[in-house]
Chain A
Amino acid sequence: MPEPATGGKAETGEARGAADRELVRRAQEGDKEAFETLVRKHQGRVFAVAGGILRTREDVEDIAQQVFLKAYFSIKRFDQRAAFSTWLYKITVNECWDLLRKKKVRPLMYEADLNEEQAHAYQSKEDGGEYVPDVSERLEAREQLEQWLECLDEKDRTMLVLKEVQGFTVEEIAGIMGLNGNTVKVRMFRARQRVAERIRRKKRAARV
């Protein structure tokens, strides 16, 4: 998972929050450099969140840009009661859902849209020593994941991906989804039951 840039130092959550608050305050006064720093700090996670929900890399990029544009033009109205990151990820999730609703498709996979150049990039990464699964392998793996997640609705899927793939805490997910922490836990429990059942069924079928 891409971590936000922290300028080389390991920042604590509190220090990061304070730094964000200051940057937001400056951005609210029209400081573009402050906003640019916010973009640089949070783009990794915005990409990761959108990537967990959307199908193609192009969609992820477009939505990420849209999210930051929206944030730029509405930052004056952001009252800093919640963390800037929570506000931003909330915008991200909503933008992704809007796009999915417009497209009326289930999120599938973005490797499917890899062009030749990108496929080569993956291959050369592999040649460089770092193990990167073959594009078709990744494609297959992702397809499998999508089949497992197919049984969940948009919200449950997003929650599970935010938690298991992007490492968000229950509290953060509750903030992003506008839900109570306990509701998130219960929905996650039920979502896990359904996905685990699918995984088991698939494994049983593979054995037979």
Chain B
Amino acid sequence: MVSAERPAIATAAAGPTTPALDVVWDALSTVPDPEIPVVSIVELGIVRNVAWNERRLQVDITPTYSGCPATEMIATLIRERLAAIGVHDVDLMQRLSPPWSTDWIAPEAKEKLNAFGIAPPHVTRGRVDVTGISPLRHAAMAIACPRCGSTQTKLLSQFGSTACKAQYRCTACLEPFDYFKPH
């Protein structure tokens, strides 16, 4: 499904079996998010750390949402990509703390999301708290339409095509769009 679009990575048949960590990071930076292929799993903040333990590579990853169905696919893609640079002994560790936040999404990645048609998340500064507030009385945060840039937009549903996105509609250009929810 995604293999056709992958940039070629030189296989390391003759290379070292314990490449430098920046080589590992570069390789992981080419692994696309399965749901939002325009950004990588590194840009999304899913890969938390990589480290060599003797000759085994430990990769710490964190799920975006607890039930994100892409998590297992991401693990498979990581193993495939690392195998392509000659790293076969990989320990994937799931890390839950600190919980994943959209604040970790790199600024360039937010621009890519916008260009892809997904309004990028606002910065949460560590807190998303909507309890005790009637949503109908929300001071509406201005979400700019990724197509025309208008902030005349309307929330349709807090849950979009995936749990991490909300559905909006632009009342200027009338197009619906996804908003990556602050988390």
Q: Do A and B bind each other?
A: no
